[in-house]
Amino acid sequence: MGNYNLDELQQHILICHGSSCKKNRAEEITAAIRDEVKTQKTSSILVTRTECLKRCSDACNAVIYPAGVWYKEMTPGAGRKLVKKLGKGKLMKKHISYHVGKYKEATP
């Protein structure tokens, strides 16, 4: 496997695969997001599995960079919707737990 071509990259989705997120379908969510990226035929979004993101009560978590938007309670359907929203330059407000520089942390 060679290097990923970063020329068109605009968004990087980091999906937590810590123990709480794994229990909350992290594998299915990752697969759905990757499938939607392929369906949209975009090379502007890179999807990466991560270790624990330290937000276990919000499982399953995803973080979008460089925007710095943290999403909580993701599902496979929400993951697909997220990719579509990112393609339009929009946020998926229902699932935002934190947005660096924009929002205060959501409280339970």
Q: What is the DSSP letter of 96?
A: E
The two three-digit tokens of residue 102, written as one number: 């924009």
Q: pLDDT category, 7, cuts 50, 70, 90?
A: confident
* pLDDT tens-digit series, residues 18-51: 999 999 999 999 999 999 999 999 889 999 999 9
Nearest to 70 by CA among 16, 22, 26: 16
CA distance 85 to 101: 20
* pLDDT tens-digit series, residues 61-108: 999 999 999 999 999 999 999 999 999 989 999 999 999 876 555 544
DSSP 15-40: EE-SHHHHHTTHHHHHHHHHHHHHHT
Q: How many CB atoms lie within 10 A of CB 33?
A: 23
pLDDT at 107: 44
Alpha-carbon Rg for the chain, nearest whole angstrom, is 13
